[in-house]
Amino acid sequence: MTALRDLAPSPARAVPAAPAEALVEVRDLRKHFPVRRGLFGRVAGQVHAVDGVSFHVAPGETLGLVGESGCGKSTAGRTLLRLLEPTAGEIRFRGEDITRLDARAMLPFRRRMQMVHQDPYASLNPRMPAGEIVAEPLVIHGVGGGRAERRERVAQLFERVGLRPEQMDAYPHEFSGGQRQRIGIARVLALGPELIVCDEPVSALDVSIQAQILNLLMDLQDEYGLSYLFIAHDLAVVEHISQRVAVMYLGKIVELTDRASLFEMPLHPYTEALLSAVPIPKVTARRRRRVILSGDVPSPINRPSGCHFHTRCAYAHARCRSEAPALREVRPGHLAACHLHDGGVTFPLAKPG
């Protein structure tokens, strides 16, 4: 992996527009939560959970969204699906603006956009048999025919995700964690979606089960032409499943490119630090420069001025503390938000440590 300090600055260009065939496009999406204090709930501040992110997902593509806990990944996914109302920005699905649609107008899009949740223990109703959990979306949307037809459809979904149809009458507590996540995936597939937001779908599972679920998701993508927004903090998982990767820090995307470019030549100091923390064999580790970030992630209520990462960055300079870098195309198809690559300006890089 090439280190940032070894890269010569290159002229940066504006972010290229999303391709016309994009399945979903997000433009300058923001989600802020008010912080209320006092007896009367006075608004004393805002949590900038998602603060102006833009990306697109093409048909049949997996876009990985990575970053530390609390950086806004899950909030971005939920806001994209309109499970949370956006504060500002624009969400387009197949070219149609769905940002401000009411509940009735959103209903057809709910069938086309689904979510696999992080916790397979909390995302299933413990009072419902597994078969009814998978059939529930069909009932809510009034599709799938009568009860017998729906049960047959559910049996097919069980088989497709690696479960036995005779398990349809069992309750969630009778399944293992990996089996519960398979039930969640079957429920998502019931309506035939085009986009699935996977919110850390394997982080709560044993390592031995994670690969099985990832391979299942990849097989389903090939079979049904699905698009994924895959949210994770484990870069090894993201490298396995994603075609492109977006890196988030404190509510903003700081780097976005294809998988190979990100892992071979990161252009943002935060990405460089994340990659240096990925466990690798000892022989390879001896040749890799370890980057250790100082301090903690700042509060999204009281964010640093300028570049939000400058308080932990070994390359930070005066401009970084006063001016926020824009996300720009540094190399063809490789976007980064860092002054090191802005306009060919050369900075004397600091020595990490």
pLDDT value for 241 = 94
Inside any domain, residue 353: no
Inside any domain, residue 348: no
- Band (pLDDT 50/70/90 cuts) for residue 40 is confident
Please tell me whether residues 89 and 147 are part of one structural domain: no
- Band (pLDDT 50/70/90 cuts) for residue 257 is very high
pLDDT value for 16 = 64
pLDDT tens-place string over residues 276-321 = 877 665 444 445 566 777 777 788 888 889 999 999 888 888 899 9
pLDDT value for 11 = 55
Please tell me whether residues 184 and 276 are part of one structural domain: no
Cα separation of 190 and 153, whole Å?
A: 8
Q: What are 309's two structure tokens?
A: 């990462």
pLDDT tens-place string over residues 141-190 = 998 788 999 999 999 999 999 999 999 999 999 999 999 999 999 999 99
pLDDT tens-place string over residues 72-125 = 999 999 999 999 999 999 999 999 999 999 999 999 999 999 999 998 889 999
- Band (pLDDT 50/70/90 cuts) for residue 6 is low
Amino acid at 252: K
Please tell me whether residues 13 and 159 are part of one structural domain: no
pLDDT tens-place string over residues 309-332 = 999 888 888 899 999 999 999 999
Q: What is the mean pLDDT of the chain?
A: 87
Inside any domain, residue 99: yes
Q: What is the pTM of this model?
A: 0.88
Strand order in the sheet with 328-331: 113-116, 195-199, 227-232, 62-66, 244-249, 252-258, 334-336, 328-331
Cα separation of 347 and 339, whole Å?
A: 9
Domain count, the chain: 2
Please tell me whether residues 268 and 298 are part of one structural domain: yes
**Residue 106, domain extent:** 4-118+200-341
